[in-house]
Structure 1
């Protein structure tokens, strides 16, 4: 079982989420319980493990209040495979569009990547040594042993071998220090992947297409081609090849499927867009069809992927929607029943906006400070300026469309665009800039006076 989950209680999970997301205590509490319940299930008796099913969550709240961010951060905390899909992208089986099973395949791909990255770290030392040897063989080929039995020639050959070995070791140190990174060498690179295959006739599902491509790919010759690249680039290319040789892909697939089945999370956004508004004709028929296609996946079924079959019984599904036009009861009853936990996210207040600018590890203000730091310019914000920014953003949301915390990106961009343009030409490295309340009022007064902010919405 995942070591991170082992060590985190629901309270600690909420504390981790608090580092990035302001407010929404109820939503954080429910997702923390859902995450801890996974550990509890893993530690139950084997008979009960199959019986305990996750309590899927339906988040209700307008745009920009933190629905997606909560789910994404939760997956990071758990080091779990996570995929986000928009329900509005799916269409009923038989119509042109994405098939609902594709989200499970995306989850498996994500899981494969997580496991492969972990395995690459495990074989990194061995792979690095193999890559160094390959590069050294190109730079200074090893001396071939002579089959001659003449003592003098044999002694010369031994001296050549020793000299060659010393030179190789000197170059190995240079390689490790990065002194040779810009030098060009010629390496053999395995041939690229096949071009996509078009199939004439009727529609074909994803799995069949993948199987056809793999089958035809097996018959195609896998030739190598020579490329002239810098040693830094060669190291990356060869590292991928050497790591692939050392990793057992069957083991990766097995672990990835287990991880996806038991720890995987699928975030279905815009689920309100597929809720029927009551009619039974036109687009409503297709919307209900999508819900019926989603139902078996959420209830628990087996989906075929190119890495093997995966059961969806214990995947945690988190659905979200604004539900401005429709309401949760407009979803088909069977699907409603599969999302027993309902969480209503609160609208953000002016005080929330102030804390969003100041507190999170990835706060917008900290992002702009880091960007200008790269130019050698020190940017600071006074507390009053943050209060003023929060006030203006909140006001704009009231007067125009409420886009939640995304409004902060609009006002911050408008406030700092001139500074970002002037660095480094007019504002050189070593400069210090403090954003004051007066500067905020002056820069953004025109933005607020002009009620139509549509041109500034990101």
Structure 2
């Protein structure tokens, strides 16, 4: 039985209660309280599991979640924000992209391989951050060795201690100039290591095997990473030397081990469009993207071992969050075994005018805040009145009702059309204070919304 290592997955989010997790999600996603509660409980249960004895913790599997709701209501955003909050490896995949084993296309195990790659990148960045200051110091010393001439031996009548002190003072003066940017115009020659031989994919049999073959690893004597002399500006040379020192200080074997443990104990896989692989009643004939894919996904969700280039990965404790609109198919159209692996089901509510008003203003990354910040870069102060925001929400709701309901994504198309003229004319505007009121919104959008055929293509 593998040893459970809780210390590799502890994060600052471990101290958050479910109520606090929901409060954090509220900063980015409007409404959908039931879905937030479900993911908050799932995240908290991971923290609870880490405090158990290893034998019992091994037996407790995460309760996977099935989110049901139309497009644009926040399914993906809830899962993504949860992963950031938990500092967990997170990957989003579309179920419709996978094909049954034996057919050309991506096999379902690739989602686990992608998750491991993300986990390795995450841990590597953390380790690089830890050694960054030390690497920068060493890189500065190497660069000063290049910039300063080699120290000459002390003359017979010269005090060697005084000579060394003078050399040290000269070196420190150069270090201060280097940090202040006064040496940026200089050019230095350094040895730059060429990149290793590129990796490539192999097409094996009837499917694309994502095998990362690196000839440098296979034939170390042939590809040693040759170095060549290059002239670089001081800032470029310092950046290159810092990166080189960082790579020396980071133990990639340790990074891989930690990443594997983190993925196994804290990884989150979000499977979108799972309704697209649900078999609909009354359909006949083979379909390589439906029931066969469900049966391939089943063992991964149940808990299996997947071979990756970083070793074998157990999926027993990875949290799976599946989502789908289920307009045509129903959750009961999934094979029974897969249904049983998603015991928590939450239905997300369609968004209306009131939710759109809140989405435009309340979240940290609200659309109004985004466009205001973008126009500030041109020196334009963009101000939206409350009436304008309600009118924008009115138009978005109306277009969703008349055409396809794409939820909050409709706000993006409406805002782009509304601010098209200001965005284009922005750099040339004489008046740098622009107020968007309901009259301006009506002027820019009313005719398009009124013409249903036009709104289908433009909004």
TM-score, normalised to structure 1, is 0.92
What's the counterpart of residue 433 of structure 1? Answer: 434
What's the counterpart of residue 151 of structure 1? Answer: 156
Deviations 1:201-257 (A, max 9, x none): 635764654477732466423112333333333333322221111112122111111
Report the Cα distance in structure 2 between the residues aligned to 1:239 and 1:406, rounded to whole angstroms. 42
What's the counterpart of residue 302 of structure 2? Answer: 299
> Contact conserved, 2:375 with 2:382, CA < 8 A, in 1?
yes
Tell me: CA distance 1:176–1:203, structure 2 relative to 1, closer, same or farther (3 Å): farther
Structure 1 position 87 matched with structure 2 position 95: yes
Deviations 1:82-120 (A, max 9, x none): 000111111111111111111111111111111111111
- Structure 2 spans left out of the alignment, 5+ residues: 1-8
> Contact conserved, 2:216 with 2:224, CA < 8 A, in 1?
no
Tell me: CA distance 1:285–1:99, structure 2 relative to 1, closer, same or farther (3 Å): closer
Tell me: CA distance 1:350–1:172, structure 2 relative to 1, closer, same or farther (3 Å): same
> Contact conserved, 2:196 with 2:216, CA < 8 A, in 1?
no
Report the Cα distance in structure 2 between the residues aligned to 1:419 and 1:312, rounded to whole angstroms. 50
> Contact conserved, 1:82 with 1:264, CA < 8 A, in 2?
yes
Tell me: CA distance 1:412–1:199, structure 2 relative to 1, closer, same or farther (3 Å): closer
Larger deviation, residues 378-387 vs 188-197: 188-197
The residue correspondences of 1:257-268 to structure 2 (distance < 5 A) are 257-268=260-271
Deviations 1:154-200 (A, max 9, x none): 65x87775554333322211222334345443332222132344657
Structure 1 position 254 matched with structure 2 position 260: no
Tell me: CA distance 1:215–1:203, structure 2 relative to 1, closer, same or farther (3 Å): farther
Tell me: CA distance 1:217–1:268, structure 2 relative to 1, closer, same or farther (3 Å): farther
The residue correspondences of 1:19-418 to structure 2 (distance < 5 A) are 19-143=27-151, 146=153, 151-152=156-157, 162-181=165-184, 183-197=186-200, 199=202, 202=205, 206=209, 208-210=211-213, 214-216=217-219, 219-278=222-281, 281-282=284-285, 284-418=287-421
Cα offset for 1:142?
A: 3.8
Tell me: CA distance 1:195–1:211, structure 2 relative to 1, closer, same or farther (3 Å): closer
> Contact conserved, 2:50 with 2:57, CA < 8 A, in 1?
yes
- Structure 1 spans left out of the alignment, 5+ residues: none
Deviations 1:16-42 (A, max 9, x none): 000000000000000000000000111
| Stretches of 4+ aligned residues off by more than 6 angstroms | 157-160
Report the Cα distance in structure 1 between the residues aligned to 2:212 and 2:447, rounded to whole angstroms. 55
